[in-house]
Amino acid sequence: MKKLIRMLVPSIIGSGLTIAVFLLTGLNHSNTPVFHAGQDIVPVHKTIYTVKENGEFVPLDFTGVSKEVMNSVVHIKSIRKVQGSNQYFFNERSPFGDMFGDEFFRFFYGEPKPQNPGRSKPEPFEQIGTGSGVIISSNGYIVTNNHVVDQADDIEITLHNNDSYKAKVIGTDPSTDLALLQIKKDGLPAMHVGNSDQVEVGEWVMAVGNPFNLNSTVTAGIVSAKGRNINIIDDKSAIEAFIQTDAAINPGNSGGALVNLNGELIGINTAIASPTGAYAGYGFAIPANIVSKVVEDFMKYGMVQRAYLGIMIRDINGDLMKDKHLKISEGAFVDSITEKSAAGQAGIKTGDVVVSVDNVPIEKSADLLEQIGRHRPGDQVSVTVNRNGKELSYNITLANQKGSRKLISSDQQDILDILGASFETLDKDKADQLGIEGGVIVKELNGGILENQTGISEGFIITGINNEKITTVDDLRKALKHQKGGVMLEGIYENYPGVLFYAFGLPD
């Protein structure tokens, strides 16, 4: 695709050149100068233009676009009521966003210890976080980052005109770090969503949000890169193909808008690359095409319909090319194929290099994640791979993580998937050894409700839910199926004394 050409064109505004003649009087007259102007003085401006691919000259003017888009960006305050506890909360968001991750806290405080119910608990307190959001529908729908509202008990939206409303969470998706909210208000100024595929590196963009609680802040820069994977989303199925920009983005911009000069939303600002936690040159935004798909899923199905090829991939570098004797230097290398793999069933093999999806070139792994992330289970895609220097194409019907090609609505979703963990019934011999009737082991945490809300660790053995005895995975599923609101887990760790309790909340 041809790149847009940028140029500066000086433009003189006015009908002619102003002429001024200064005449000094003779020695025998007053020393006051006399001015003779040939025309009225007209101000001179320089105007920056950008030239589109079709040759059209477009003024580079941020003022009009700023006025248009600021009304569509909101301030978000999220409040989480935290019950006092003796354990560390690693996943909390500070007022400075994602400056510090779990590793920071582990470095200073060590690994988390299970809560000791025998100790007295500190008083409950509130954690307040702030961020931004974008109005995408006139009837009150607002998109933001998942991490802005994650685990919030109360969410308050403030519009550009300072009107405030309570917000309801319609859906959250940790794998893309997106969330959809709704307020009870009609006639809102919705922002038009653009096509992020048409975004070009070098294109002028603006970031709109509320950094450091400075409401309605606009910064400008260019698109520095596309398809960036910076490994910031803490989710097993994370999709990272960020638009990178040098428009200044700071804590509080999260969930705000990245817009082009047409005032179209091309991305949701999500992260910054910084050694200090404040702007240091680069910000990252989720492409609008991924945002549109996730929002549509929430509206239609109540949950995100995630599609998978069923392959493990990695970027190509010089070492990999040498080790695997690859003929090409760009693409997504197929490192392994998962069980019930849609790609494997279609004929793709380990060692192949994916070079295109539906004729869209794949240069790195992030490109492939982005393209597949726009689809749902049951969609068919054409995937081209390079195998030993020869290109082969396969038509693949995508599936979900369990291998099913059917769409699932939120009321059909397995409650255990919502918890974000895998479980296993405790072996009877092991139960006898531990002196319990039975239980369910938390085998693996995947960044869901259990991990985010409780601080529970893998290996915890669930023996009860809300005073109901649990001995098998089926018991666990049945006990949670019709639960709403607060849930109390009871159980033990194999090598830790005493019975422990973890509380969490299920969505309505």
In 109-163 the beta strands, taken as DSSP E runs, fall at 125-135, 141-145, 154-158
- For tokens 């105007």, name the residue: 47
Torsion of the alpha carbons at 208, 212, 215 and 221, rounded to the nearest 10: -20
**Nearest alpha-carbon partner for 446 in 489, 409, 483, 401:** 401
CA distance 119 to 270: 39
- What amino acid is encoded at 227 in this protein? G
Residues 6 or more apart whose Cβ sits within 8 Å of residue 65 = 206, 259, 261, 262, 263
Cβ count within 10 A of residue 161: 7
Amino acid at 245: T
Tell me how far apart the alpha carbons of residues 393 and 410 are, in angstroms, rounded to a whole number: 34
Whether 254 sits among the annotated catalytic residues: the reply is yes
158: helix, strand or coil: strand
CA distances from 475 to 423, 464, 487, 493 (A): 12, 9, 15, 19
Q: Are 329 and 363 in contact (CB under 8 A)?
A: no
Given 72, 78, 132, 147, which residue is catalytic?
147
Three-state secondary-structure class, residue 157: strand
| DSSP single-letter state for residue 20 | E
Which of 132, 254, 274, 341 is an active site residue? 254
Paired tokens of 101: 């991750």
Torsion of CA 344, 350, 353, 354, to 10 degrees: 20
Chain position carrying tokens 């069980």: 339
List 177, 297, 352, 367, catalytic entry: 177
Instruction: Return all residues near 494 (Cβ < 8 A) that are at least 6 apart.
Output: 434, 459, 461
List CB contacts of 495: < 8 A, sequence separation 6 or more. none
Helix (H, G, I), strand (E, B) or coil at 452: helix
β pairing state of 242-245 and 217-228:
antiparallel
Our separate counts of H helices and E strands in the chain read 11, 29
| Residue 177 a catalytic site member | yes
Residue type present at position 120: S
Shortest CA distance to 76 belongs to which of 6, 18, 116, 134? 134
Q: Is 94 a catalytic residue?
A: no
Cα distances from 273 to residues 128, 279, 441, 495, in angstroms, run 23, 8, 38, 40
Give 61-65 contacts, CB < 8 A, sequence gap 24+: 61/261, 62/206, 62/218, 62/220, 62/261, 65/206, 65/259, 65/261, 65/262, 65/263
Catalytic residues: 147, 177, 254
